[in-house]
């Protein structure tokens, strides 16, 4: 019996009690109104609920009296071993071993689908993250949102949402001209622009541009030709870096699309905002009255000289996302983008959306790495590729994902490369590998899953392990709702600990000359169920689940 099923049972009992106390006056509650949680102290039972404390006043009684009445009714429900009332009216429920153990088979049969839910069904979400400028390699400042953003997308999809992972390519404007001039200088041996891009990677780009386009200096406009060729190469490098990091995007949106056409998407965006009544002209400029939606000042969208501001591109891009069918937009931005929060929310309001519902702007804090060396190619940054090669994709992703995004993070590469239980990613992956080792040993001993007697899973470590396995779908749904992948990582670490303790206490294979008993095959189901959940959880984090370590 999972918590949702128990909530449904509780609702049935509560409705019956309400009818006794207030005939003809339905309570009007739903299963969603009933909270079922794992008690902090497992000695208190498998599940606990405060339902009596929540509805006692409405039913004209005190919480403890209502709790006892509910407990008396629950005691006769199949699958429930005992019910106790504690404190001011908490109800603690203990399932019988068969009802609890049946979950092991459910998980194995569900396979990769276990943990998936429909809590986000019907939501169409545009998830934008990383969006590093195509003028250089991705660096440590991009790694956190690369890992978290990708995992957030996995969680949302696992919870039923339609998600588009999007990378905004800032490939228009003065920075691209400086980029082209910098690479051209590297090709010709001229002095790089004072405000240009520096580092060995620029020289490398120059060589690669010439190798791909030997006659490029003979172009009508060499700087523009070099700029576009170098941009194409650099963007491909970024895409390759992310792919090696197990990060994939559904949409690569070029800023140039916003400027193309007559009228352009930016021209159209200004007029659409004007139609909403939030655009005005003053001081030879065009303004958006974003202060109507909490911004600290109104924003210029077009200057007096007719040139659009970055805010104009932001507006056109936001409206374009809506035009593509995405009601909800999530922006994952770096620690230096706090000023964008009010600006983007005000933009949503100006576009006629609800700033509190239709847009989320999440800010990630900085990441530092103990002992990291600056990139030899880029000169002043730590590149994503270097970090990945040094620490490893799995260890780097997992360590970035196991802490809240809004807290600063310092990585310890020495720890993350250790094959010990002190290394969180090793601890979880080793638990998964151990489930496969147990399975191999079981096969050698002749233990199969042909028998399943869940009532035999009665050891205290089995009850604890089953309780944790039952929580996985709720963890996935909640992590998706609050946009916090670290909750999955911390859950997996707890599950790994419970599995290791179970492994130390309960044998799947017979000892010595002992004959194979039904309990051995039943425990194999539990072993394999744990492996499946560990595998499913690691997949949501974009981390591999090795079968041997």
Between 241 and 199, the more confident residue is 241
What pLDDT score does 164 carry?
98
pLDDT band at 509 (very low <50, low <70, confident <90, very high): very high
User: Which pair of tokens denotes residue 209?
Assistant: 């541009």
User: Which pair of tokens denotes residue 524?
Assistant: 């194999």
- Stretch 399-419: mean pLDDT, rounded? 92
Q: Which CATH number fits domain 124-170+249-367: 3.40.50.620, 3.30.465.10, 3.40.50.1220, 3.40.50.300?
A: 3.40.50.620
CA–CA separation, 421 and 430 (whole Å): 9
Nearest to 225 by CA among 177, 272, 273: 177
As a whole number, the mean pLDDT across the chain is 93
Contact 288, 270 (CB under 8 A): no
Of all helices (H) and strands (E), which one includes residue 144?
Answer: helix 140-158
- Stretch 205-217: mean pLDDT, rounded? 98
Contact 250, 166 (CB under 8 A): yes
User: Is a pLDDT exceeding 80 seen at residue 372?
Assistant: no
pLDDT band at 378 (very low <50, low <70, confident <90, very high): low
| Whether CATH 3.40.930.10 fits 419-540 | no
Nearest to 120 by CA among 483, 480, 537, 482: 480
What pLDDT score does 296 carry?
87
Beta strands in 256-379 (DSSP E): 279-282, 285-288, 299-302, 328-333, 359-363, 367-369
Percent of the chain with pLDDT over 70: 98
What pLDDT score does 44 carry?
79
Nearest to 42 by CA among 456, 465, 454: 465
User: Is a pLDDT exceeding 70 seen at residue 379?
Assistant: no
Domain boundaries, the chain: 3-95, 124-170+249-367, 419-540
Between 436 and 306, the more confident residue is 436
- Stretch 444-448: mean pLDDT, rounded? 96
What pLDDT score does 84 carry?
93
What pLDDT score does 380 carry?
67
Phi, psi of 95 (to 5 degrees): -85, 155
The pLDDT tens digits for 455-479 are 999 999 999 999 999 999 999 999 9
Beta strands in 80-220 (DSSP E): 80-86, 90-95, 124-128, 162-169
User: Is a pLDDT exceeding 80 seen at residue 43?
Assistant: no
Of all helices (H) and strands (E), which one includes residue 64?
Answer: helix 63-74
User: Which pair of tokens denotes residue 59?
Assistant: 């039913």
Between 42 and 485, the more confident residue is 485
What pLDDT score does 507 carry?
96
User: Is a pLDDT exceeding 60 seen at residue 374?
Assistant: no
User: Is a pLDDT exceeding 80 seen at residue 12?
Assistant: yes
What pLDDT score does 31 carry?
87
pLDDT band at 75 (very low <50, low <70, confident <90, very high): confident
What pLDDT score does 495 carry?
98
Contact 74, 38 (CB under 8 A): no
User: Is a pLDDT exceeding 90 seen at residue 4?
Assistant: no
* C-alpha distances in Å from residue 303, one per residue of 41, 231, 307, 451: 63, 28, 5, 76
* C-alpha distances in Å from residue 309, one per residue of 261, 304, 305: 18, 11, 11
CB under 8 Å, gap of 24 or more: what pairs does 100-103 form? 100/1, 100/46, 100/454, 100/457, 100/463, 100/466, 100/467, 101/454, 101/455, 101/456, 101/457, 101/462, 101/466, 101/522, 101/526, 102/454, 103/2, 103/466, 103/469, 103/470, 103/529
Does residue 246 have a cis bond before it (omega within 30 degrees)? no
- Stretch 94-98: mean pLDDT, rounded? 87
- Stretch 299-312: mean pLDDT, rounded? 93
Q: Which SS3 state, helix, strand or coil, does residue 419 take?
A: coil
CA–CA separation, 207 and 182 (whole Å): 13
pLDDT band at 268 (very low <50, low <70, confident <90, very high): very high
- Stretch 141-158: mean pLDDT, rounded? 96
Beta bridge partners of 37: 48
User: Is a pLDDT exceeding 90 seen at residue 39?
Assistant: no
User: Is a pLDDT exceeding 80 seen at residue 194?
Assistant: yes
- Stretch 496-514: mean pLDDT, rounded? 95
What pLDDT score does 79 carry?
86
Task: Supply the angle between the helices 384-391 and 140-158 in degrees, to the nearest 10.
Answer: 70
Between 252 and 372, the more confident residue is 252
User: Is a pLDDT exceeding 60 seen at residue 348?
Assistant: yes
- Stretch 89-116: mean pLDDT, rounded? 94
- CA–CA–CA angle 96, 99, 104 (5° rounding): 125
What pLDDT score does 459 carry?
94
CATH number attached to the domain at 3-95: 3.30.1360.70
């Amino acid at each position: 019996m999972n918590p949702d099923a128990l909530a449904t049972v509780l609702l049935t009992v509560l409705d019956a009690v309400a009818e006794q106390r207030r005939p003809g006056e339905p309570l009007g509650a739903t299963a969603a109104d009933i909270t079922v949680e794992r008690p902090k102290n497992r000695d208190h039972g498998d599940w606990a609920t405060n339902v009596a404390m929540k509805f006692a006043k409405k039913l004209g009684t005190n919480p403890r009296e209502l709790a006892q009445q509910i407990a008396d009714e629950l005691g006769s429900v199949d699958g429930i071993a005992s019910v106790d009332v504690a404190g001011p009216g908490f109800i603690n429920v203990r399932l019988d071993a068969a009802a609890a153990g049946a979950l092991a088979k459910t998980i194995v049969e569900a396979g990769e689908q276990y943990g998936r839910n429909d809590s986000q069904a019907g939501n169409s979400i545009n998830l934008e993250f990383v969006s590093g400028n195509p003028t250089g390699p991705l660096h440590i400042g991009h790694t956190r949102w690369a890992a978290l953003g990708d995992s957030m997308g996995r969680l949302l999809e696992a919870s039923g949402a339609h998600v588009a992972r999007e990378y905004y390519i800032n490939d228009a404007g003065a920075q691209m001209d400086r980029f082209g001039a910098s690479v051209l200088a590297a090709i010709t041996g001229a002095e790089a622009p004072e405000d240009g891009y520096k580092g060995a990677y620029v020289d490398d780009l120059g060589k690669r541009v010439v190798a791909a386009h030997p006659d490029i200096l003979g172009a009508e406009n060499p700087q523009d030709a070099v700029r576009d060729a170098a941009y194409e190469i650099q963007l491909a490098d970024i895409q390759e870096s992310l792919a090696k990091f197990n990060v994939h995007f559904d949409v690569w949106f070029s800023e140039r699309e916003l400027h193309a056409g007559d009228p352009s998407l930016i021209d159209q965006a200004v007029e659409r905002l004007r139609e909403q009544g939030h655009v005005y002209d003053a001081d030879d400029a065009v303004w958006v009255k974003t202060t109507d939606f909490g911004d600290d000042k109104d924003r210029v969208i077009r200057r007096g000289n007719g040139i659009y501001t970055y805010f104009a591109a932001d507006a056109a891009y936001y409206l374009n996302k809506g035009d593509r069918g995405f009601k909800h937009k999530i922006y994952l931005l770096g620690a230096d983008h706090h000023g964008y929060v009010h600006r983007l929310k005000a933009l949503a309001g100006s576009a006629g959306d609800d700033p509190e519902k239709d847009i989320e702007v999440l800010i990630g804090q900085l990441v530092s790495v103990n002992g990291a060396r600056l990139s030899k190619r880029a000169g002043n940054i730590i590149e994503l590729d270097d970090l990945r090669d040094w620490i490893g994709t799995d260890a780097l992703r997992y360590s970035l994902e196991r802490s809240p995004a809004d807290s600063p993070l310092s990585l310890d590469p020495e720890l993350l490369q250790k094959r010990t239980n002190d290394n969180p990613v090793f601890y979880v992956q080793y638990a998964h590998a151990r489930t496969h080792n147990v399975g191999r040993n079981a096969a050698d001993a002749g233990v199969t899953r042909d028998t399943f007697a869940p009532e035999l899973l009665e050891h205290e470590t089995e009850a604890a392990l089953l309780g944790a396995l039952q929580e996985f779908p709720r963890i996935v749904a909640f992590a998706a709702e609050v946009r916090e992948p670290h909750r999955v990582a911390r859950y997996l670490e707890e599950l790994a600990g419970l599995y290791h303790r179970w492994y130390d206490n309960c044998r799947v294979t017979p000892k010595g000359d002992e004959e194979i008993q039904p309990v051995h095959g039943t425990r194999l189901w539990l072993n394999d169920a744990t492996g499946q959940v560990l595998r499913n959880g690691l997949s949501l984090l974009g981390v591999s689940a090795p079968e041997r370590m």
